[in-house]
Structure 1
Amino acid sequence: MRAIEFPEYGGPEVLRLVEVPVPRPGPGEVAVDVSWAGVNFADVKARAEGYRVDALPYRPGLEVSGHVRALGDGVEGLDVGQEVAALVGGGAYADVVVARAESVFPLPEGLDLRTAATLPTVLPTAHALVHEVGRLRAGESVLVHGAAGGIGTAVGQLARAAGAGAVYGVASTDAKAAYALKHGYDEVFRPETFDEDVRRVTGGRGVDLVLDPVGGDTLRRGLGVLAVFGRLVSFGNAGGGAPWQVGQPELYGQGHAVAGFSVLGLAQTAPAAARALTERALRAVSEGAVSLPVTAEFSLAEASEAHRLLGGRTSTGKLLLRVRD
């Protein structure tokens, strides 16, 4: 079968299309014939700097949609040929992947395979940021960094559906800002001035919830725009800054709280909770509360072009690899 891997860290050109043996599922596992694979910034970080890579060569990719190819011993509730979406620990850029059964989800009625490939990482993350971790209440305000990305696109819609009083975004260009404004955002600010802008539009009050995938100085500035009893959720370190720390002086005075979230971490440490979260998130799609537009698609052999686009920070929405028609 075909797969994409990289033998060394570097730019998009290190991605290689290779022929490898077809994997077989072990006990508690499911093999999936891949139709579509999602492309995420975590894949770019893996290729460029070894994020979550345990050994080289490495096959990137975290999410797929397709048909069940084979079931390992002990797997129940799935059938060969069934349409599914799956979260995998790596190797999604391939004709066939193997995933743990608890991370494989039958598609809800009306959900097509192309759309389903956008969901396994993005939608549970967005749902958790708004509800389980961010605990957004009706009437509260939220600030979302990366508002035009896949997660940002979903968060804007979910926050609006949850009754947010104001949904503010941060995006780096006019084009990204215009895109975000179509997906639930009231106003979109620039990274350089977002803290000043938040204070201006809120009359100095600040926002109730900040969602931050950037880290570093951006995260520290985000703490500064929290309202009394506000919460900040960190869900990435796209800026590549040094690990951050926050303590009593920053939190005690106004009752601030800081939390973190990773859907991959949750899937590894609490798979039952990750499955329940994903099922709740998928219902939001089937009920029409949120949609995830695919803004670009590439063939499997064009994976390097997908990485070049995503790594250039000019893309919006969700990028996919078309593995088979």
Structure 2
Amino acid sequence: MHAIVFEELGGPEVLKSVDVPLPEPGPGEVTIGVAYAGVSIVDVRARADGYQVRALPFRPGLEVSGLIRAVGEGVTGFTPGQEVAAFISGGGYAEVVVAPAAAVFAVPDGLSLRTGATLPNTLPTAYALLHEVARLREGDTVLVHNAVGSVGTVAGQLARMGGASAVYGVVSSLDKAEHALKSGYDQVFTADGFDADVREATGGRGVDIALDPVGGKTFRRTLSVLACFGRLVSFGNACAAEPCPTRPGDVYPHGISVARFSILGMAASDPRRLRGIAERAFHTVTEGGVELPVSGEFALADAAAAHRLVESRAGTGKLLLRV
């Protein structure tokens, strides 16, 4: 079968199409004939910086949709030919993948496999950030960095659905504002001046919840625009800077909370909890009207082009590889 791997770290050009043996499921596993694989910033960082790369050669890809091919010993609830989506720790850029059954989900009725590829990572991440970690309450004000990314596009909708009184987004360029405004955001600010804009928009009060996948200086600037008892959730380090420490003076005077969340970490340490979050998140699509942000599609062999688009920061929503 065909798969995309990289044997060294570097630019998108290190992604190569290779022939590898068809995998077979072990106990507690299934194999999936992949229809679509999601492309994420984690894949890009793995290729460029070695983030979460255990050894080379490495096959990127955290989320897939497709049809069950075979089930391993002890697996129940899945049958060959069933439409599923799966969250895996790598290897999604391939025609067939092995996935732990605990991280495989039936695609809800009425959703296509194309849409299903956005389910395992994007939707549960956004849902967990707002409802499990930040504990969104009706009337809260919410700030989301990278508002036009896949998680940001969903987070705007979920915040609005969850009763937020105002939802503010941060983008790299106002050319992307229209996309964000269609995803539940009331106002959109650019990254270079978002802190001053937030203070102006809130009359100096600040926001109750902020979601930050960027890190570095952005993390510290975001701390400065939290309201009393505000909650900041860091869920990435896209800038690849050293994590900023949280000092007592940053949080004590106003009762500010800082949390960090990794869906990769939860998938590894508590897949049962992740399954519960995912199932609640899926209801927001099937019953609540949340729209999942598929904005671009590339052939599997064109994975390098998809990575270039992610790195250019010109895209919006979710990119998929068509397998």
Q: TM tier, shorter chain?
A: over 0.9
Does the CA-based 8 Å contact 1:295-1:318 persist in structure 2? yes
Aligned to 2:244: 244
1:207-253 per-position Cα deviation (integer Å, ceiling 9, x unaligned): 00010000011000100000000000000000111122113221110
Distance 1:118 1:180 in 2: 18
Does the CA-based 8 Å contact 2:30-2:70 persist in structure 1? yes
Superposed counterparts of 1:284-323, under 5 Å: 284-323=284-323
Aligned to 1:178: 178
RMSD: 0.7
Q: Does residue 34 of the first structure (1) align with residue 34 of the second (2)?
A: yes
Using the size of structure 2 for normalisation, the TM-score is 0.99
Distance 1:77 1:295 in 2: 32
Distance 2:243 2:152 in 1: 23
Does the CA-based 8 Å contact 1:38-1:64 persist in structure 2? yes
Instruction: Measure how far apart 1:175 and its partner are.
Output: 2.2
Which ranges in structure 2 are unaligned for 5 or more consecutive residues? none
Larger mean Cα displacement after TM superposition, 281-290 or 57-66: 281-290
Distance 1:65 1:304 in 2: 20
Aligned to 1:7: 7
Instruction: Measure how far apart 1:288 and its partner are.
Output: 3.5
SS of the counterpart of 1:60?
coil
Which ranges in structure 1 are unaligned for 5 or more consecutive residues? none
Larger mean Cα displacement after TM superposition, 11-20 or 280-289: 280-289
Does the CA-based 8 Å contact 2:154-2:293 persist in structure 1? no
Superposed counterparts of 1:254-265, under 5 Å: 254-265=254-265
Does the CA-based 8 Å contact 1:157-1:289 persist in structure 2? no
Aligned to 1:83: 83
Distance 1:294 1:259 in 2: 28
Aligned to 2:61: 61
Distance 1:295 1:109 in 2: 22
Matched residue type, 2:61: G
Larger mean Cα displacement after TM superposition, 259-268 or 239-248: 239-248
Distance 2:62 2:261 in 1: 16
1:136-178 per-position Cα deviation (integer Å, ceiling 9, x unaligned): 1111100000000000000000000001000000001122122
Matched residue type, 1:233: V
SS of the counterpart of 1:94?
coil
Instruction: Measure how far apart 1:282 and its partner are.
Output: 1.1
SS of the counterpart of 2:231?
strand
Does the CA-based 8 Å contact 1:303-1:321 persist in structure 2? yes
Between the two proteins, the alignment pairs up a number of residues equal to 323
Distance 1:149 1:277 in 2: 21
Aligned to 1:232: 232
Does the CA-based 8 Å contact 2:139-2:165 persist in structure 1? yes
Matched residue type, 1:268: A
Superposed counterparts of 1:117-156, under 5 Å: 117-156=117-156
Distance 2:243 2:159 in 1: 28
Aligned to 1:274: 274
Give the fraction of aligned pairs with identical amino acids, expressed as a percent.
61
Distance 2:115 2:270 in 1: 26
